Structure 1
Amino acid sequence: MRTLNTNQELEAYLRLNNAGYAEWLAAIAQLLACPLAECRLPRPQAVVGSLSVLTVDAGIVCVLDVAQDMELHGCLVSQTLLVNAIQGHSEITLQAGSRLSTFPLAMVPAGQTFTLRAVEGSRLVLVYPVNEAVPAWPQPGLEVALAGHIHRFLMRSNYFQDHLDASNETQALFDRLERQLVSGQVDLPEELPVLDRRLVRVIEKIRGEREWEFDLQDLAHHCGASERNLYYLMKRETGMTPYRFYQRCRLVRVRRRLVDCQCDVPHISWYAADEGFSHLGRFAALYREHFGELPSETVQWRRRLQEQPVVETARRAMI
């Protein structure tokens, strides 16, 4: 059975791709608002991983893709941190020596210094900060319930309408997690419906065929539905029309190129034109509508990160 998830969690909010040691360390320190004592890697000069972040007033939801075995030491959080492993193996060790499994979920109490270990190929979700305290004796299954809310959010993240929709859903996630911790009761969220197989074919075509230009008739023929049925089916099950999803996928591809850009002057107009956006002003407005920032701000985020003192310190340490 196919579910709504397609294993591309928060791809619309990619911040670092193929990140090196120094900027990886700086990004996590910045996101958790804490200095990191050390990051141990078997291959310090190689790619460490990729990182996506969605930020709202309540905090951040961050997805880490780990490209090699990693140990983060000396992390100190001022409020509760939730760490959920959705792929691979990882664990957290608190300063007192307690070990927490990140599957289904680890709850790191406020004021705790901890070490995070993750093997190559792991994918982790960090939710921080959560304002409620971790119960000393949580109800059996509470971690499963908290992880369930996070998974439901990630499944929906592929079909956010725009940045406003993404922000509202993220704020709602924080509210649900805090209510769950306050009550201490196990409240499993409802599962999202299985995605219709015709929609699976549509989504795979739009995502996988970069050169394909939108044609609703061709899309309907490809999935074996009428144009009218396809339109309403996709709108009902994902909240998006076929064209809106097609447009968002093109914007996400531009964002990935901007994140990867290491040139002095990013060729925003070139990247936009490659994805079929001929009017730069209209493209910039759409980009901001979907991601909450201008294309230039996406590039600047990584550049500002690279200018932080911790990055230079990490570089010297590697040398």
Structure 2
Amino acid sequence: MSQEITGLSERMDFYAHLAFLPGKRVNLCGIYLNQAYRISGSNTESPVIVLPLEGAAEFELDGQSFLSAPGVPFVLEPNAEYCAHVSAETHLFIVQMGSPGARKPQAFPRSGDPNIARLLESFVIQMAFLKGHEHALERVQWFERALVQHCGDGSVTSLPEVHVRDERRICQAVKLINERLEHGVDLEMVASESGLSIRNLYYLMKKYTGMSPYNYCLSRRLIKARESLIRNYEEDPQIANHALRWGFNHLGRFSSYYREHFGEYPSETLECLESLTKFSENVGAVEGARSRQGVRHGSAIPRSVEISP
């Protein structure tokens, strides 16, 4: 795969965020791209479904163009040669079906399957309210079954009867919590500004998300601490510093919460980052020599990079 930056965003503090979660029959990936990119390459032996949650991606295959946007998924067929133009500030949810050598599922429409879009969007929304690693695995298994069922006979597993986006006040409360995490969250004030009593906030959060407001705040602070550790571990590898920044004063308790939520200890996250750094030797600028230090910290932006398997 190769990628080329085609447009710069005003935000220069990072280039991309990536999250990956493997399942038994599907692999899930979330990518947030800060810049506009042109990406080209060849797909694996498994079909891939791409759904933009924000922004857009235009695919070019076999002399045809397909525009994928929120609500309009695109299916990349096995072994397909592709080129994609991705707009800046784009959030992609990507699903790799099956594995090489596995029985091929029923073919999807190449673009715009509304049932697939509903299924993927519902799953992504639910993933924001995970109680921990085990709960994440349960939701992935549900998603796998639903997607494989759709591949087999075209039917769609029933989605949850109550959906958080149907309750405007809870959506507002979640938005306020997310905005105030770094400076502390006053749940009574959040409830008031969302048009709720504190009692109704707890009741409706539990009904629509399966989590109490306190547990949601805890999960978001853990995610922020993990993001801080991943983005800044080279400058500051001390786990305690990242925990303290997000309100965890007891390192042992933080490690326990972290293990329950992510399925690994913070020290294991650091070990994984060190391994990824070694793999980065396979990533290099195509046009001219750039220092690795410059690429990492943004003092020089490679216009085009290639990633070797």
TM-score class normalised by the smaller sequence: 0.7 to 0.9
Following superposition, the deviation at residue 102 of structure 1 comes to 2.6
Map 1:16-95; keep pairs closer than 5 Å: 36=1, 38-42=2-6, 48-94=15-61
CA contact (8 A) 1:139 1:186 kept: no
Following superposition, the deviation at residue 151 of structure 1 comes to 0.2
The worse-fitting range, judged by mean Cα deviation, of 235-244 and 265-274 is 265-274
Counterpart for residue 303 of structure 2: none
Following superposition, the deviation at residue 247 of structure 1 comes to 1.0
Structure 2: runs of 5+ lacking an equivalent? 290-309
Following superposition, the deviation at residue 85 of structure 1 comes to 1.8
Q: Secondary structure at the match of 2:43?
A: strand
Q: Secondary structure at the match of 2:35?
A: coil
Q: Does 1:268 align with 2:236?
A: no
Counterpart for residue 22 of structure 1: none
Count residues in correspondence: 279
Deviations 1:169-196 (A, max 9, x none): 1221122112111113577856725453
Following superposition, the deviation at residue 137 of structure 1 comes to 7.7
Following superposition, the deviation at residue 286 of structure 1 comes to 0.4
Deviations 1:60-106 (A, max 9, x none): 22122222222222223111111112222212233x44444334111
Structure 1: runs of 5+ lacking an equivalent? 1-35
Taking structure 1 as reference, are residues 202 and 73 closer, same or farther at Cα in structure 2, changes over 3 Å only? closer
Larger relative contact order (Cα-Cα within 8 Å, sequence gap ≥ 6) = 1
Counterpart for residue 102 of structure 1: 68
Counterpart for residue 170 of structure 1: 140
The one-letter amino acid of 1:307's match is K
Deviations 1:254-312 (A, max 9, x none): 1110111142661211221222222211110101111112112333333322211x634
Deviations 1:223-280 (A, max 9, x none): 4544433322211111001111111121111111011114266121122122222221
Map 1:125-164; keep pairs closer than 5 Å: 125-130=93-98, 133=104, 135=106, 138=109, 143-164=113-134
The one-letter amino acid of 2:267's match is S
What is the CA–CA distance in structure 2 between the aligned matches of 1:276 and 1:93, rounded to whole Å?
47
Following superposition, the deviation at residue 221 of structure 1 comes to 4.7
Taking structure 1 as reference, are residues 188 and 281 closer, same or farther at Cα in structure 2, changes over 3 Å only? closer
Q: Does 1:184 align with 2:154?
A: yes
What is the CA–CA distance in structure 2 between the aligned matches of 1:300 and 1:242, rounded to whole Å?
32
Identity %: 26
The worse-fitting range, judged by mean Cα deviation, of 160-169 and 132-141 is 132-141
CA contact (8 A) 1:258 1:266 kept: yes
Counterpart for residue 292 of structure 2: none
Counterpart for residue 255 of structure 2: 284
TM-score normalised according to structure 2 size: 0.77
The one-letter amino acid of 2:146's match is R
What is the CA–CA distance in structure 2 between the aligned matches of 1:82 and 1:132, rounded to whole Å?
17
